Amino acid sequence: MLTLRRLAVIPTLRCTLRCRLCCNSVPLYDRPPLLPAEEVAADIDAAFALADRIEWFQFVGGEIFLYRDLADLIARAAAHRSQFDRLILMTNGTLLPPPGVCSELASLAPDCEVQISDYGPLSPRVRDLEELFARHGIPCRTKIFHGDLQHYGGWVDNTSYAFRGYTQPQVQELFRSCWQIRLANAHMYRGRIHPCIRSLFGQDLGLIPVPPGDYVDVRDLSQSREEKREILARFGQLPPLACRYCGGFDSLRAERFPAAEQAAP
């Protein structure tokens, strides 16, 4: 039995904001694509064919409501309803959802949730979104990231992909204290599932030489299902190579910065 606690699918990294400390490295991408819906849908099927269970199945961006075919992707995930506990969307509160999203989510309620990041004046649709989802009976949670009430006290600056030259004990400590690992926060982009966002985007940006055993490419037909499942089962047990290029996500000790400060264009 292979259970993933969380899998976040990224249909696009395109965003309405450009946050300097974006942990998904959005400012490092030059106009990222909206991935073709059939491609992402096939990746979703492939992920559910690999894992027996995915407790929290999530859609994140970029800004997820920029993705016009989002309702189709939710419907595709819902076809695997017996394999996940909750479906979660994350949005930055700048846009209303594209057509069809509310009815797809309503059909999953109460086993779904929309998580809204409220960045104050940068997130003008927060109240509209809360009312919309309430009207459709869709669970919704707003996290405040402005003023004195910043969720988790603000953001961590983990934007550099420089090689850090850590010793092995330092790598182990970084990994042990990493909330990405504690939350088992696996992400999938372009069919590649990584144990953490740093490994995923470090590879995608060509900044970290991620070795084959650190991720699974659901589109790679040269690797067997069993081999892929073995790699997924090892996620979170040993530090990925990416830790050597990472400042870490230490939820207790890391310095915090104001959320959502915008980067220069």
The Cα 149–Cα 241 span in angstroms is 35
Check residue 12 and report its DSSP letter: B
Beta strand pairing call for 3-9 and 53-59: parallel
Choosing from 26, 46, 105, 156, the residue that interacts with ligand SF4 (CB under 6 A) is 26
Which one of 29-37, 66-74, 216-224, 235-243 is the stretch in contact with ligand SF4 (CB under 6 A)?
A: 235-243
Should residue 123 be labelled a site residue for ligand SF4 when binding is judged by CB under 6 A? Answer: no
Q: What beta strand segments (E) does the chain contain? A: 3-9, 53-59, 84-91, 112-118, 140-144, 185-189, 192-194, 216-217
246 touching ligand SF4, by CB under 6 A = yes
Report how far apart, in Å, the C-alpha atoms of 133 and of each of 81, 121, 221 are: 21, 21, 40
Query: Cβ contacts of residue 134 below 8 Å, gap of 6+?
Result: 140
Binding test (CB under 6 A) with ligand SF4, winner from 19, 44, 116, 218? 19
Nearer to ligand SF4, 11 or 61 (CB): 61
Sign of CA dihedral 39, 41, 45, 47: positive
| 174 contributes a contact to ligand SF4 by CB under 6 A | yes
Q: Is 180 in the site for ligand SF4 (CB under 6 A)?
A: yes
> Which of 56, 65, 67, 175 is in the footprint of ligand SF4 by CB under 6 A?
175
Q: Quick one: which of 2, 8, 49 has its CA closest to 233?
A: 2
Q: Is 178 in the site for ligand SF4 (CB under 6 A)?
A: yes
CA distances in angstroms from 146 to 50, 105, 183, listed in the order given:
39, 28, 24
Q: Which of 3, 5, 6, 18 binds ligand SF4 (CB under 6 A)?
A: 18
How many residues of this chain interact with ligand SF4, rule: CB under 6 A? Answer: 27
Q: Is 196 in the site for ligand SF4 (CB under 6 A)?
A: yes
Of residues 24 and 203, the one with the C-beta less far from ligand SF4: 24
Residues at the site binding ligand SF4, with contacts judged by CB under 6 A? 15, 17-19, 22, 24, 26, 61-63, 92, 174-175, 178, 180-181, 196, 198-199, 239-240, 242-243, 246, 248-249, 260
